[in-house]
Structure 1
Amino acid sequence: MYEWKLWEVFVRSQNGMAHRHIGSVQASDAQMALQHARDVYTRRGEFVSLWLVASENLISSGDVDRAAWFETSHDKTFRQATFYPVPEGVQHL
């Protein structure tokens, strides 16, 4: 008997866009997880790509000190997207 694992499902709605998390499925292996995700999340054909990751392989920052992990360094503004001008005509940046 196979042990079923939890798989996180990420989808992309069109080429050039980022994948986003849409939900989870349970399956005994990667191929079954992919089929379950297709059956559950792509019924209307609105996506062009599926990514699946076994939940056990995800790593989270958890309950870390938020200030130390996520606050921007104010002396390194070049790391902020607002530092750079957006070229005319660029979409989905």
Structure 2
Amino acid sequence: MSRETEGVTASWEVFLRPRRGLSHQHVGSVRAGDADMALEHARDLYTRRGEPLSLWVVRSADVHAASPTERDPFFSNAHHKPYRYPEHFTPLTGGGDHDDDD
């Protein structure tokens, strides 16, 4: 038996991978009593057009994310690491900037 009690529905987030080479994308939510029913609802709602490569459902309560209000403090830790930004590196040129023994 699932973690849900019988007759109680939970919210599930739906992720769809439309075709090979693409990432899963969040496409919406469904309500269902268990994961199998959530997959069926997601299939019925979000795969009517085309044949996706895969479909995931994740209980909404199990998704943890940074909110937009946390954006600056959450992602600001990289500013003191300039090597993570392309501006830190000198562009390569076609000239004689390197040592050649000709």
| TM tier, smaller | 0.7 to 0.9
Please list every run of 5 or more consecutive structure 1 residues that lacks an aligned counterpart in the other structure: 84-93
Other structure's SS at 2:78 match: coil
Rg comparison, structure with higher value: 2
CA deviations 1:4-41 (Å, max 9, x no partner) are 00000000111121100000001010000000000111
- Count residues in correspondence: 84
Residues 1:65 and 1:49: Cα distance change in structure 2 (over 3 Å)? closer
Aligned-residue Cα RMSD (Å) equals: 2.6
Q: Per chain length, whose mean CA-contact separation is higher, i.e. which structure has more relative contact order (CA < 8 Å, sep 6+)? A: 1
Task: Specify the alignment match of 2:7 in structure 1.
Answer: 2
Moved segments of 4+, more than 4 Å: 80-83
Relative to structure 1, the CA distance from residue 23 to residue 78 in structure 2 (aligned partners, 3 Å threshold; closer, same or farther) is same
Alignment of 1:52-63 (within 5 A): 52-62=57-67
TM superposition score normalised by structure 1: 0.72
- Provide structure 2 residue ranges, at least 5 long, that are not aligned to the other structure: 1-5, 89-102
Cα distance in 2 for partners of 1:5, 1:26 equals: 5
Report which stretch shifted further, 13-22 or 68-77: 68-77
How big is the shift at 1:72? 6.0
